Structure 1
Amino acid sequence: MTSGRRGQWQTAAEILTRVSREPGITRAAVAHELGLSSSSATEVTAKLREVQLLAEVPAPSRGRGRPTTLLRAHPSGPVALVLDLRQSNWRSAVVALDGSFLSQDDRRHRTRRAEVVLGHLHRAVQEAQEQYGDRLRAVGLAVPGTLRDNHLLQASAPEWFELDLETVTAGTGVPLLAGNDATLSGVAEARSGAAAGAGTALHLIIEAGIGGTLLIDGVPVQGASGAAGEFGHTPFGDRSRQCLCGARGCWNLEIDGRALAHHLQDPEPDDPHAYTQAIVRRTDRTAVRAVEQVVTAIAAGLAGLTNAHDPDVITLGGLAVPLRAAAEEAFTTTFLEGLMAFHRAAPPPVVAAAHQSDGPLRGAAALALDHLTTESSIATWAATR
C-alpha cells in the first residue's frame, strides 16, 4: 500500500470511528469534527461506499444551507457478533458498523457446566458465520469474571474458573475480543450513557458480586495485566470470611444475594440475582433490615472508592439500582458519612446507568467496533471488495 493509500485509510478509520460512536451523524458533522474540507469528506466517504463500508442517505432538510447526508452502515458491510455471558443466561446480538443491532437473542442456561455453555456460544458463532459469511469479522464477548489473554481466570460461577475462551471461535477464523462485563458496561456508559463526557467516571454493577471500572476520558483503566476493576475483591468486608477468589474480607460477600441470604440465615442461593429481586420486593421487617445492611455496605464502599479516585460521576448498574431505591435514606447517609470532608460539600452525583440490561452487550459491541474501524481491518476488508 502506498503512503497515499495509508493516509486514505487513516482518514477512513477516523470517519468510521465517528460513525460507530455517533449513530446518525451527518457527513458535514464528521467533516467539522475531523477538520476535513467538504471535498475531502466527500471523496473518502465515496470510497467507503465503493468498498461497501458506508451508505449515505439524505439528512432531513433544515432550511437554507448546503444539503448533507447521514452516514450509515452499508447493508452488505462487515458485522460483529456480540455475546454477554451471565450466571443464569446469555445474550447475543449482531451489530453493524454504525452500532445498530441487526438481531438479538436471549437464552437461559440449562446447566452451567463450562463445556456446555461454551459449546452454545460456539454454535452461536457458527450460526452467525453461516448467515453472514465473510461479513462476520469479529466476536465480542462480555464475561462475569477476571480475564487475561482471553482466559477467564475466575468468575462469579465456580464452574467457569480457568476457562480458555478461544474455544468460542475455534475453527471459524474470526477473532475473539473478550472483556469483563462490568468494565464493558462502563465503556457503554462513557460512550453513550450517563457518564458520557465525564473526565473521570466510576462505574459499578452488581449481579453476582460487584464489578466495575474507572474510566479516564472514556477509556477504562486496565492495570498491569488487564485485570483492573475487581472492586468486589477490595477488603471492605468481614475479614473472618473467605471469598472464592482466595482472599479474605472481600466486598463481594457483603453486597449481593449471597449477603442477603447470610443476613436472613437462608441457604446460599443458586441464583443470587433472582434471590435479590425477590427479597427487595418483600416488606417484612426482617427482609427490610437485611436490605438496609447490604445497601449500607454498598454505600460505604462507594465512599471509599470516591475518596480514592475522585470521580466526576458514579454510575450504577444491575441490582445496585433496585437495592439503593429500597433503602435510599440508608444509602445517602452512609455514603456522605464515608466521604472525606472536602468531598462532602460537593459529592459526585451517583446515578443509574442509562444502559441497564444491555450495558455489557453494548460494551462488547464497542470493543468489536473499535477493532473493525482500525486501519488494518479496513484495508483487509477493502482488499476483498
Structure 2
Amino acid sequence: MTPVRRGQWQTAAEVLAQVARQPGITRAGVARALRLSTGSATEVTARLRDVQLLTEEPAPSRGRGRPTTLLRAHPEGPVVLALDLRQSNWRSAVVALDGSLADHQYKRHRSRRAQVVLNNLRRQVEQTQEQYGVRLQMVSLAVPGTVRDNHLLQAPTLEWTELDLTAVAGELPLLAGNDATLSGVAEARTGAAAGAGTAVHLIIEVGIGGTLLIDGVPAHGASGAGGEYGHMPFGERGRACPCGARGCWDLEIDGRALARRLGEPTPDDPVSYTEAVLRRTDRAARAAIAHVVSALASGIAGLVNAHDPDVVTIGGLAIPLRDAAPEVFDEAYRGGLMTFHRGAPPPVLAATHQVDGPLRGAAALALDQLTSEPSIAAWATHH
C-alpha cells in the first residue's frame, strides 16, 4: 500500500472519532456519517488496520445478504488508563480507541493523606505499563476538586489544596479534570445529553458539581476552573463553606444539609448518610428531604435561566433525591424559571452513565487527543 503522508491522516482521525462516538459502527455507517464514498471509507479503514488502530469483525448474522463487519479498536492499538479519584475510593479502567472499558480496578482509601493516595494511583499506572507496554499512551484522571493545568487547586471534600498531579502519570502525558465535568462529557457524548447543542450536567455526592457543555465540549472558563456550580451563592449567606466562600449551594443539597435540618451531627460520610435518610419514612426525614429537593430544583432553574440549555442531566444522589419528592422538585423548578421558559422548560433527565461517568468522560477527552491527526501520524510512524 502507498505510504501515507502526515497531512493525509485527517480523514483517518475523523473515522476514529466516529468509532469512539459509536462503538461497533459499520464501515458503511462511517461513510454515511462522514459523507465519504464507499471507496474512500474502505481505503481509510484499510490504512488504519495496517497501523494497528482499527480492526473489523463480523457482525451478528441477520439472515441472507452480504455479511457486514463492525469497526473495533485494534487489539494491539493504543490505550488510555482512566482513573477516577473519589472521597473514599478510586477506580480505574483501560480504555481502547472505540471507548470500550476493560481491566476495571476498585480500591478503597486506607488513608486520605494526599501523598499516600497519589502514590497508590502511581502504582496502578506502573502496573498498567507493565501489562500494556508502549500501547499505554496517556493517563486521564478525574478528581473531585478544582483542576487547572494538571494541578489540583483545592478539593474541599478531601481537604486537599495545591497539589501537582503530574507525578501520578510518571513519564506519560497526564490529562486531569474535575470529576463532575468529566461526567458531563460522558453524558454529552454517549449519554442522556447526546446530540444536544447546549447541556448542563450536575452530580451530587458530597456537594454538587457540574459543567456547561457546548457541542459535547465542556466550558472550562478563563483559567480552566469553570463549572464550580456548588460554590454559587444559592445558600444562606452567613454559612461558611470549606472552599472559603460563604452561602455556597453545596451546603444546601447533600447529607450535610439533611443532618442540619434533622438536628444531627455533620456526617463523616455525607453520601452514606443521605442514602440512609432516603430510606426513612418518618415525618422529620420527609421534611428534610423536601427542603433539600427544593433547594436543588431552585438552583437548577437558576442555571437554566443563565445558560438556556437544551437539556439538564443529573447524576449521583440528585436522582434518588428528586425521586423522593418529585412534586416538590417540579414546583420549585418551574417556580424558579423565567416566564418564557415555563411553556417548554428544558427537561431534567437522569444521567445514563452513573458510577462510570467520570471514567468515561476522562476517557473521551483523552481519546480526543489520541485520535487527533498528529497523534495518529506519530503512532503510524512507529507501527
Question: TM-score, normalised to structure 2's length?
Answer: 0.96
| Whole-Å separation in 2 of the counterparts to 1:55 and 1:312 | 36
Q: Any stretches of 5+ residues in structure 2 without a counterpart?
A: none
Contact 2:198 2:214 in 1 (8 A): yes
Contact 1:8 1:44 in 2 (8 A): no
Q: By how many angstroms is 1:102 displaced? A: 1.8
Letter in 2 for 1:209: G
Q: By how many angstroms is 1:117 displaced? A: 0.6
Letter in 2 for 1:177: L
Change (3 A) 1:79 1:3: closer
Contact 2:112 2:158 in 1 (8 A): no
Q: By how many angstroms is 1:65 displaced? A: 6.7
Question: 2:40 maps to which residue?
Answer: 40
1:48-197 aligned within 5 A: 48-60=48-60, 68-170=68-170, 173-197=171-195
Contact 1:211 1:229 in 2 (8 A): yes
Q: By how many angstroms is 1:6 displaced? A: 2.5
Question: 2:329 maps to which residue?
Answer: 331
Question: 2:246 maps to which residue?
Answer: 248
**How large is the Cα RMSD of the aligned pairs?**
1.7
Contact 1:212 1:230 in 2 (8 A): yes
SS class of match (1:378)? helix
Contact 1:138 1:175 in 2 (8 A): yes
Q: By how many angstroms is 1:63 displaced? A: 6.7
SS class of match (1:46)? helix
Moved more, 249-258 or 31-40: 31-40
Letter in 1 for 2:364: A
Q: By how many angstroms is 1:303 displaced? A: 1.0
Contact 2:82 2:139 in 1 (8 A): yes
Question: 1:357 maps to which residue?
Answer: 355
1:300-311 aligned within 5 A: 300-311=298-309
Letter in 2 for 1:292: A
Letter in 1 for 2:326: E
Change (3 A) 1:109 1:5: same
Contact 2:251 2:257 in 1 (8 A): yes
| Whole-Å separation in 1 of the counterparts to 2:42 and 2:158 | 53
**1:188-210 deviation digits (Å, cap 9, x = unpaired):** 11111111111211110001110
| Whole-Å separation in 2 of the counterparts to 1:47 and 1:305 | 46
SS class of match (2:175)? strand
| Whole-Å separation in 1 of the counterparts to 2:143 and 2:374 | 27
Question: 1:204 maps to which residue?
Answer: 202
Identity among equivalent positions (%) equals 71
Letter in 2 for 1:346: A
Q: By how many angstroms is 1:269 displaced? A: 1.4
Q: Is 1:276 the counterpart of 2:269 in the alignment?
A: no
Q: Is 1:19 the counterpart of 2:25 in the alignment?
A: no
SS class of match (1:139)? strand
SS class of match (1:120)? helix
| Whole-Å separation in 1 of the counterparts to 2:316 and 2:379 | 37
Contact 1:188 1:355 in 2 (8 A): yes
Q: By how many angstroms is 1:66 displaced? A: 5.9
| Whole-Å separation in 2 of the counterparts to 1:381 and 1:186 | 29
Letter in 2 for 1:309: H
**1:256-277 deviation digits (Å, cap 9, x = unpaired):** 1111122122222111111111
Question: 2:293 maps to which residue?
Answer: 295
Question: TM-score, normalised to structure 1's length?
Answer: 0.96
Contact 1:156 1:208 in 2 (8 A): no
Question: 2:310 maps to which residue?
Answer: 312
**1:67-87 deviation digits (Å, cap 9, x = unpaired):** 542111111111111011110
| Whole-Å separation in 1 of the counterparts to 2:271 and 2:86 | 10
| Whole-Å separation in 2 of the counterparts to 1:375 and 1:24 | 22
SS class of match (1:273)? helix
**1:182-237 deviation digits (Å, cap 9, x = unpaired):** 11111111111111111211110001110111111222111111111110011100
Q: Any stretches of 5+ residues in structure 1 without a counterpart?
A: none
| Whole-Å separation in 2 of the counterparts to 1:42 and 1:99 | 22
SS class of match (2:244)? coil
Q: By how many angstroms is 1:122 displaced? A: 0.4
Which stretches of structure 1, 4 residues or more, deviate above 3 A after TM superposition? 59-68
Q: 1:236 aligns with which of 234, 237, 246?
A: 234
| Whole-Å separation in 1 of the counterparts to 2:188 and 2:245 | 31
Contact 2:87 2:158 in 1 (8 A): no
SS class of match (2:5)? helix
Contact 1:59 1:70 in 2 (8 A): yes
Change (3 A) 1:218 1:47: same
